[in-house]
Every structure is written in C-alpha cells, then in structure tokens.
Amino acid sequence: MSTNPPDQDDFQQDLESGPLRREGFTPRLQHNIEDKIRRSERIKIKVKPLLVATGFGTFLLAAVLFPWSSLHTRSDAAALLNSPVPAEAMYSSLPAPVPISTALLIGLRTEHEPAVAGGTDGRPKGLRYSTYRTMLIAPIRGQLRKTSEGEGILMPYKQNFWKIDSLKQTTKMGEIRYLSTHMADQPAGPERPTADNAVGAGAGAATGTDAFNHVETLLFAGNQYLSIAESQNTWDGTAARQGDRLWVRTLPQLKENQGRVLPFAKKPAAADKNHVTLADLYGAGLGGELARIPRAMQGVPGEITGQSWAIQRESGRWVGKVAETLPVSAVSPDRYVVHDFPKELPDKVVNHDDLCCTWTDIHAAWPEATDALTSPMNDMLVVFEDGKLKFYPYGQAPGNAPQLTIDLQPGEQLVMAQWATDHYVQEWVDKVARYLPERPMAAGE
C-alpha cells in the first residue's frame, strides 16, 4: 500500500520539532542565508566560497552555524526524524566543519576618561581619548591562533604595512593627542611641530586665552580610507568651549596632515582641504540627495555639504554618516549632528564587509552580540559577545565552544577588519610578526 508524500507544511513542522528544535533554526533563517548566498554569488563572482563545493547550506543554530545539507531531501529528513538516535550521534554524522584557511587582522579601539580635568581656573576642559591595539588571527597547524598583538593600528596599504599611532604632546598650550602614521618597516620620522611644542609644566598646566586640549580619534581604518573625529576644548578667558569635527582622509592625507594642530579658531573647518568628500566618491550630483535629508532642528539653518562625514560601525556593518554643521554658538564654535547617509558605501571604501546573513538573524542566535564579522571565503564567523571575541568555523556542530576566544577590554570597539586568503595568510603571519610582538605559544600548541 503506497502512501502519499507528506504535505510540505507538515514536513516543515516536523523539521522544527523534536531533536532539531533549537534557538535560531527557523525557515526564515534558512531562506535568508540561502538568499544571501545567491546574491553574493551573483555580485562577487571572483569570490569562491569554500562552502559552495559542499552545498554551502548553513544555519545559525543555538550559538553556532552548522551544515544542514543532509536535510535538503525529504528522504534524508524522514530517515533522520524516524531514527531514535541521540542528538550527539546525529550531529556527529553530519559533514565535518570546513577548516578555517583565512587570516584576520583586526584593529580595536578603547575609549578612556579625560586625563586632564580642567574647565576652571583658566584651564581648558579635558577630553576623552582612545588607545588602540591590533591582533592577527590565523590558522596555525590546523588551529586558529592569535599569532601577534601590539599597540596602535597596523594596516595593509598597497604592497606594504603601515602603522597608525596616537601620540601625545603636553605643551604650554595644553594636551594634544593626534594620529601619526609611517611605514611599518621604517622608523617613525621626526614629528612636525604642533601649535606650540614647548613642553609646559605638566598636563593641564596651560592657561590663558590660547590654551586648548585637542584629541584625534580613529573611527575606521580601511585599506586606504580613514574616518577621524577631532575634538577640541579651549578657554576663552571666562569659560570653556568645545568644538568637534569629522573627516574622512586617505592614508597619505593623514601623513601630510599629522601633527599640524591649531586651535579651531585659527583654522576654520572650511580651510581644511586635506580630506575626502562624499562628492569625491559619488560625484557632484549628490547635492539633491543631501538636500532631502531632514535637518536636526526646525528653523535652524544647519548645513549638510558632504565635506564632513564619517564611517561608523552599526549592526554588523560599516555605514556612512553625514554631518550637519550647526550654527556657531557661544560655547560650541564647531558642532554637528550626524544623519544616516542614504547610499551604500562603495567596496573601495569598505571591502569584504558582508555578513553571512542579516543582523536580525545574528542577534536571534546570539542575543548579547554587539557586532559580527564574516570572512570573504565564508569559512570564519566572528561574534562580539559578553566582552569577548568568539571565533567559529562554518559547520561547527551546535553547542560546541568557539575555536578561539579573546577577551575584549571594557567598551572596546572595532576599528578595522582586514582579511588575508591563500598564500597571503603565511605572508601576513611572517610580516606582522616583525611589526607586532609575537604571542608565545603554550606547550602543546
């Protein structure tokens, strides 16, 4: 006696019941991941995901991704559902995880409270500042390892590596923290003088109408573009004033500009030509779209020109933020609010910034996740969660621990994610070891 094949709805309900019911495993997630893969294959033909050869069907399941290619046919699914085997045995029969062959050079930023109080007695108020670190994560003898770590941001640029450091000068004018860059295999050259490089009595010792504190913060580092925020506090003789500016610069522009710090009052924002505008990336016809962005305050003539903008991290991807410059006030000669930029950032600005699936899918499987990364070869998933970096290979069975976990500093944020594949992995391991201290391996690693 023959039986009719099960109804599709019943089949889906069966798949979601019993031993396969786990957080994150839903038809919507399956559809989203498959759709993401199809779109990625159409747009980036040159990228050859390792998992295409094995069907590249992966689900976010519990706190990991695991292959579900064995569940694609009804006959396989029916056999699986009818077999009273423990979950551990069932998962052990699934295809092995795809080995990680990609390396990740990751840059992180930690913000600190002001080192200088100020704001009274003729001293400018202190500013929050950031420190940076770079790590290289690479497969060593089949296991993912942190091979190097060091201060500052080490980034690939063309055929070389460059170093970006945050330097501090304490002068009789105030405390100045600025970004400096040089080729990693060359010593840092002599720094250009700031507004006044005569060393003062100590941090916060500056007084008078010319005293100011200045901080430059690196928000994003790509393979050539950098997003930088500038903040400055001054003392006008009676009260403290604060100004803020946003710029996107290329690495050569940063090198040309480094150390040239003046009070904002002596260097208007309009005089800074050493930066990348939105029109440089999208063309002069962008004015209409910028004009349609709603202004922050009704009746206040804010200005959005595309000169001032930023690249910021948001929900697992880099996005553009355009600054609306507000009218000068008594306490803030330079101030702005940021708006979402209505266009995707081009690949030359943020390359290899595609997640395996949507941020909603990531957050459904890792409710505490604050950020995530996917390698361009689709063999590694990195999740920022619970103050840690967690590295998973695609195809790892649910419930297993990450292949590598690294502690984050409180409030540490992503600044840079650069990927190496193929023969570049070993090349990066060797070169980065010369520029950043190598992490000694424990016995048995």
Whether 49 is in a domain gets the answer yes
Locate the DSSP E strands across 172-277.
174-183, 212-221, 225-235, 240-250
Helix (H, G, I), strand (E, B) or coil at 340: strand
**Which H or E run includes 393?**
strand 388-393
Whether 278 is in a domain gets the answer no
The mean pLDDT of 308-316, rounded to a whole number, is: 95
What pLDDT sits at residue 96? 63
Whether 251 is in a domain gets the answer no
Whether 88 is in a domain gets the answer yes
Measure the N-to-C terminal CA separation of the chain; round to a whole number of Å. 59
Range of the domain at 17: 8-92
CA distances from 3 to 7, 234, 313 (A): 12, 83, 54
Contact of 281 with 187, CB cutoff 8 Å? no
User: For 193, which DSSP code?
Assistant: P
Number of domains composing the chain: 1
Whether 81 is in a domain gets the answer yes
Tokens representing 166 are 């945050």
Its pTM stands at 0.77
Range list of H helices, 17-104: 27-43, 74-82, 87-92
What pLDDT sits at residue 38? 58
Q: For 317-357, how does the pLDDT look when each residue is reduced to its tens digit (9 = 90+)? A: 999 999 998 877 655 668 899 999 999 999 999 999 999 88
Contact of 312 with 219, CB cutoff 8 Å? yes
Whether 187 is in a domain gets the answer no
Whether 79 is in a domain gets the answer yes
Model confidence at 174, pLDDT cuts 50, 70, 90, reads: confident
Residues 338, 342, 346, 347: is their CA dihedral positive or negative?
Answer: positive
Whether 42 is in a domain gets the answer yes
What pLDDT sits at residue 443? 38
